[in-house]
Each structure stands twice: as structure tokens, then as C-alpha cells.
Amino acid sequence: MPNSSSSPLLSVIIPGYNEEEVLPFLREKLDHVLGRLSVRSEVVLIDDGSRDRSAEIMREFARQDSRYKALLLSRNYGHQMAITAGLDHAAGDVVVVLDADLQDPPELIPEMLAKWKEGYQVVYGQRTTRQGDSWAKKVTAGIFYRFIRRLSGVDIPRDAGDFRLMDRKVVDALKRMPEHHRFVRGMVAWAGFRQCPIFFERPPRKAGTTKYPWRKMFQFALDAIFAFSVIPLRISTGIGLLIMGFSMLEILWILYLRFILNITVKGYSSILIAILLLGGLNLLILGILGEYIGRIYIEAKNRPLYLVQEFVAHPSADQNS
Ligand code: UDP
Ligand code: MG
């Protein structure tokens, strides 16, 4: 245990990218919620290479209040890496990850802590409704989660984001997973331990705009699939076998026509179809192979996951890590 003093320490980890509009609201909410907890707490704010004043505001919070720490990354690494960096710098016996935009209500922290005290090591927020998320986002998210659960064989909870409480044991387990393409909610599900949901209505973003445009969401989905499953490779094998079987029959048929019936078929269409179909399929499967090879290459380079520009903690903050 990192802390020997009587009351456990809670670390609240909050990644932010261009969140200057919401940070003041976030602080107000956190001060209110954390002030009423029976446990000690620290807040690790992660600036994921923002271009606005987020980093300055976070630094300011850390100077004003010893509970706040600001971890400024050297550039934008993405949401999942920012969470990873926060987990690495958290000292708590128990950790809660939440979004900066107040879509993951800090008011639920006491309820999560109660579950933790009951003995659960992971408590994840499951959304009953998602106000403020577009119709298209809800539908694609629904399809994605059903798909990834099937593909990965890991029991990744539906309708749950990265809003979760994790025991120190789980955080240490995550730290032992060195992969570069990180799908944190999948990694936590993979880790196992005693998990339980709490249900909440997801409110709309408090201020500012989404930092997940379609491009990033698509990337996120691909990362999840390729990081958690080799089934796309098996699908390629399956398609290959199917086409091979079909080709065998076709070859027998052609030989029969040629040598038994002595008919030579002109077959322009069938040749063109075969060329186009197989050409396209070849490229597709090469692409799938390429995704995995690219990932092997990135892992083989073994670069650090992220670089830290600055870690700002109040001079009086108790350093446990
Ligand atoms: N975020 C981040 N780095 C990024 C993109 C997003 O740290 O490159 C943070 C963002 O500041 C927010 C959280 O990830 O705290 C979730 O992002 P957002 O609310 O924009 O996503 P949405 O709720 O729209 O899916
Ligand atoms: Mg949000």
C-alpha cells in the first residue's frame, strides 16, 4: 500500500484537451464534492497538449490548492494516453477517472467509493441515457460495443466510457501493460478483478465543444479492434478458403467444358469479375495484415508512451509516489 496513514487517499484523474471553458466549473464541482468525502483526496489534471489556456489554468489550480496537481504533457497524445499518464502519476489507494467536461458527474464519487468499501475493485459508470450526444453517435457507439465484445471475447461493459473507480491493484495491473495503442476500458475489462456498474444519466457537456471528431472516433474504434482481436486475420483466412473452394469447383467445370464437351467459353465478364473481386480482396486483406504489422513495428520501437513537459504540485503537497 502506498499510504500508511489512517485514511485512504483518493486520486481523481482528469484528462483535458482545450478545456479552458469548463475547468472553472470543474474546480467548483470538485471542491464541493471532495470537501465532503471521508477520505483524503488529490486531483491529477492532465493537460494533453492543449492549444488554449488549459495548461495555465491547471498550473494555477496546483499553485493555489495542494490537493491539485497538474501534469502537462509535451504534446497532444490523445485521451487514452492522457488517462495512462494520469494513472502513472496518481498516488492514491483508489483512483477515479473522469472527463473534464462534467459529463461524468463528480457527484457520483461517494457512491463509487461506497462500492469500493464493499469490496469492489472496479466500479464503472454505465449510462442509462446520453443527453447531448447526437443520434448518430449513440447508434455508432451501440454497434461498436456489440461488435468489439464479440471480437475481443473480453467482457467490455456496454454503454460505459472511461468513467470508473479503480483500486490500486487494478492501476498497478494497468501499469504492467506496456502497449502503445491503448483502449483503456478494454484493458480494465481484461484485467478482471471484482467489477460492478453504477448507473447514471449522462448529461451534456458543460461548456466547450467535443474533442472527439469523427476522425478520432474512427481511429479509436480501429485501435480497439486491432488491439483486442486477431479475428480480422481469421476472417481473411475464412474468405480465402471460401474463394478457394469455389475456384476448385469452377476449375473442374471449365475443364469439363473444355475437354469433355469441347466447348471454349468466351467468358469476358467472368474474367473481369474474378480480376476485380480478387484484386480488391487481396488489397483489403493486405491492409488488414498491414494494420497488425504496423502495430508490431510501433511496439518494436518501444518508445516511451508519452513525454512529460512539467509536473506541477504544490510545495506542501504530500508526495507519496
Ligand atoms: N481529451 C483528451 N485528449 C484528446 C481528446 C480528448 O484529453 O485528444 C479529453 C477531453 O478533454 C475530455 C475527454 O477526453 O476531458 C473526453 O472528450 P470529449 O468530452 O470531447 O468527448 P465526448 O464526450 O464528446 O465523446
Ligand atoms: Mg464529453
Q: Which ligand is nearest to the CA of 85?
A: 1
pLDDT digits (tens, 9 = 90+) for 33-71: 998 998 999 999 999 999 999 999 999 999 999 999 999
Query: Average pLDDT, whole number, for the chain?
Result: 88
Residue 43: strand, helix, or coil: strand
* pLDDT for position 1: 44
Comparing 190 with 3, the larger pLDDT belongs to 190
In DSSP terms, which residues pair with 245 in a beta bridge?
none
* pLDDT for position 320: 45
The model carries a pTM of 0.81
CB atoms under 10 Å from CB of 169, counted, come to 13
* pLDDT for position 138: 81
Q: Classify burial at 143, counting beta carbons within 10 Å of its beta carbon; exposed 0-12, middle 13-18, buried 19 or more.
A: exposed
**How many angstroms from the chain centroid is the CA of residue 190?**
13
Q: First and final CA of the chain: distance in angstroms? A: 11
Q: Which residue has the cell 467459353?
A: 265
Whether the CA torsion 154, 157, 161, 165 is positive or negative: it is: negative
Q: What is the 38 CA–ligand 1 centroid distance (Å)?
A: 29
Mean pLDDT confidence for 4-31: 91
Beta carbon of 101 within 6 Å of any ligand 1 atom: yes
Q: Which of 22, 96, 211 to mutate to test the pocket of ligand 1 (most atoms within 8 A of CB)?
A: 211
Q: Percentage of the chain with pLDDT > 70?
A: 96
Name the phi and psi angles at 163, rounded to 5: -75, 100
Mean pLDDT confidence for 250-279: 81
CB 239 within 8 A of CB 277: no
* pLDDT for position 321: 41
Mean pLDDT confidence for 281-295: 88
Q: Percentage of the chain with pLDDT > 90?
A: 52
Beta carbon of 86 within 6 Å of any ligand 1 atom: no
Beta carbon of 99 within 6 Å of any ligand 1 atom: yes
Q: Which residue has the cell 459529463?
A: 103
* pLDDT for position 317: 59
Mean pLDDT confidence for 293-319: 86
User: Sheet harboring 160-167: ordered strands across?
Assistant: 195-202, 122-130, 160-167, 94-97, 9-16, 40-47, 68-73, 308-313
Provide the strand spans (E) within 57-137: 68-73, 94-97, 122-130
* pLDDT for position 70: 96
* pLDDT for position 318: 55
Mean pLDDT confidence for 233-261: 86
Beta carbon of 93 within 6 Å of any ligand 1 atom: no
Q: What is the 16 CA–ligand 1 centroid distance (Å)?
A: 6
pLDDT digits (tens, 9 = 90+) for 75-95: 999 999 999 999 999 999 999
* pLDDT for position 5: 60
Beta carbon of 162 within 6 Å of any ligand 1 atom: no
CA-CA distance, 185 to 177, in Å (whole number)?
Answer: 13
Q: What is the 22 CA–ligand 1 centroid distance (Å)?
A: 12
CA-CA distance, 61 to 259, in Å (whole number)?
Answer: 85
Q: Which residue has the cell 483535458?
A: 16
CA-CA distance, 271 to 273, in Å (whole number)?
Answer: 5
Q: What is the 99 CA–ligand 2 centroid distance (Å)?
A: 6
Q: Which of 3-17, 69-83, 290-304 shows the lowest mean pLDDT across its residues? A: 3-17
Type of residue numbered 155:
D
Nearest alpha carbon to residue 86 among 159, 174, 26, 18: 174
Mean pLDDT confidence for 87-113: 95
CB 80 within 8 A of CB 161: no
Beta carbon of 161 within 6 Å of any ligand 1 atom: no
**DSSP letter assigned to residue 62:** H
Q: Is the pLDDT of residue 110 over 90?
A: yes
Mean pLDDT confidence for 271-284: 82
Q: Whose CA is nearest to atom 11 of ligand 1?
A: 16
One of 3.90.550.10, 3.20.20.140, 1.20.140.10, 3.30.70.1710 is the CATH number of 9-211+305-320, namely 3.90.550.10
CA-CA distance, 121 to 1, in Å (whole number)?
Answer: 14
